[in-house]
Amino acid sequence: MQSINPNPTVTLTQKHQTPNPYEAKFGYSRAIRKGPLIFVSGTTSILPATGKVACPDSAYEQTRVIFEEIFRAVKALGGRGSDVVRVRMFVTRDQDTGDVGRGMKEAFAGLLLEGDGVLTQAGVGGVKEVAEPAATMIVGARFVDPDMKVEIEADAVVL
């Protein structure tokens, strides 16, 4: 949802919302943009159409679903996946950390900074730099649905 800014010296907040039932229930947006900054709320693999968790037996598959939703939210607010600069991953069990880390690495592996028009030193001479955001993973989280194994927040900077 884009707003008209009557005072261009004031930066408006843009909001992106999805049919996720928890957004309406708890009163928050999936993501917001303020100036060049995009903040994506904690995202799980819940399917808006059913309200059920996708892939309840696989932390890896949940991670893939989550990053797809995060990238959609960033794109809806004018960014790209490679604009994501920081992620925070919350995981319920120690044994799922490898699968969550692998899912994150794969999600960003196809996002080449050079391909998105960002000039970097690594992009000189045909070498392409893969987007690798700062990241934190915390284990031992509990979520509102016991089938949720992973929740991820993301921040992006659009330049």
Q: Could you tell me if 78 and 60 are in contact, meaning their C-beta atoms sit under 8 angstroms apart?
A: no
Instruction: Encode the chain (159 residues) as per-residue pLDDT tens digits.
Output: 555 555 556 678 999 999 988 899 999 999 999 999 999 999 999 998 888 999 999 999 999 999 999 999 999 999 999 999 999 999 999 999 999 999 999 999 877 554 444 444 444 455 556 779 999 999 998 999 999 999 999 999 999
Q: Is residue 59 part of a domain?
A: yes
* 8 within some domain: no
Q: Please count the CA atoms within 13 angstroms of the CA of 16 that sit on its side-chain side.
A: 21
Cα 32 → chain centroid = 12
Q: Decide if 2 is inside a domain.
A: no
Full residue range of the structural domain in which residue 116 is found = 13-157
Q: Give the separation between CA 29 and CA 73, rounded to whole angstroms.
A: 10
Give the list of residues 6+ apart from residue 105 with CB closer than 8 angstroms, or none: none
Instruction: Tally the domains of the chain.
Output: 1
Is position 146 within any domain?
yes
CATH of the domain at 73: 3.30.1330.40
d(CA 130, CA 21): 34
Cα separation, 12 vs 86, whole angstroms:
22
